[in-house]
Amino acid sequence: MRQVAAEPLAMGPLWAYAAPREGEPWADDPGALRLGVGKVAAALSLLRRGLERPPAAVVLFGLAGAYPGGPAVGEACLVTDDWLADEGVDAPAGFVPLEALGLGRRGPWSTDDALTDRLDRALGGGLSRVRAATVSTCSGTDALAHARVLGCPGVAVETMEGAAVGAACAELGVPWAQLRVISNRTGDRDRAGWDLEGSLAALHRAVRRARAALDRA
């Protein structure tokens, strides 16, 4: 990866999101970037943008599902570290992750403490800080949600992009943070307690508030 000079900190972070509705208020905002859904789209989009015009920092924001014991539906939280939860082999004796196969690593991709603290202060303080699992197949059954928790101890929320964005930021050499609002519980989708509209509204309020503080810092 070639070395590139980052934008001055006064420019504020790049605000990145995956799905169109997550970043709908900022669809035409040059300070925001729609990545696309999933690990490949997220990593490629961010690397392309970073090589063209490297940001001083990246804030990934979006919705997430909560594992049992995780944040409540509608709650905002900040990710401390993110893991590739389904990269490996589904074997008869259980899931075997990449590192056990000698084929790579699944994490952690840790967020930047200082940037995360700034986000927390901008949002009033006291937000839950959680471990996240990044997956290609979301946990739409109780069995899969349970397996993910067993395979990645301490995980609280599930997304489809976080670890990929963390890996891309590490390659670019820029700090990153991750803000999520819980839209549903993982597991059986009929009992997942979905609140898509409410969680989107909460996400947009949080991002507006955070940008008002961080973009002028």
| DSSP string over 141-204 | SHHHHHHHHHHSTTEEEEESSHHHHHHHHHHHT--EEEEEEEEEESS-GGGS---HHHHHHHHH
Place of tokens 């898509």: 196
Contacts of 172 (CB under 8 A, 6+ apart): 1, 4, 46, 47, 50, 51, 54
CA nearest neighbour of 174 among 6, 8, 33: 6
Taking each continuous run of H as one helix and of E as one strand, the counts in the chain are 6, 10
Pairing relationship of beta strands 109-110 and 176-185 according to DSSP bridges = unpaired
pLDDT at 129: 98
pLDDT at 79: 98
Burial of 86 (0-12, 13-18, 19+ CB in 10 A): buried
Strand, coil or helix: 217:
coil
pLDDT at 2: 40
Contact 159, 109 (CB under 8 A): no
CATH number for the region 11-214 comes to: 3.40.50.1580
Q: Domain map of the chain by residue range?
A: 11-214
Contact 13, 115 (CB under 8 A): yes
pTM score, whole prediction = 0.89
pLDDT at 217: 59
Which helix (H) or strand (E) segment is 78 a member of?
Answer: strand 76-84
d(CA 200, CA 63) in angstroms, rounded, equals 7
Full pLDDT tens readout for the chain, 217 residues: 444 444 444 468 999 999 999 999 999 999 999 999 999 999 999 999 999 999 999 999 999 999 999 999 999 999 999 999 887 777 787 777 777 777 888 889 999 999 999 999 999 999 999 999 999 888 878 878 887 887 788 999 999 999 999 999 999 999 999 999 999 999 887 777 899 999 999 999 999 999 999 987 5
Strand, coil or helix: 30:
coil
- Measured on CA atoms in the order 58, 64, 67, 72, is the torsion positive or negative? positive
Pairing relationship of beta strands 76-84 and 58-66 according to DSSP bridges = unpaired
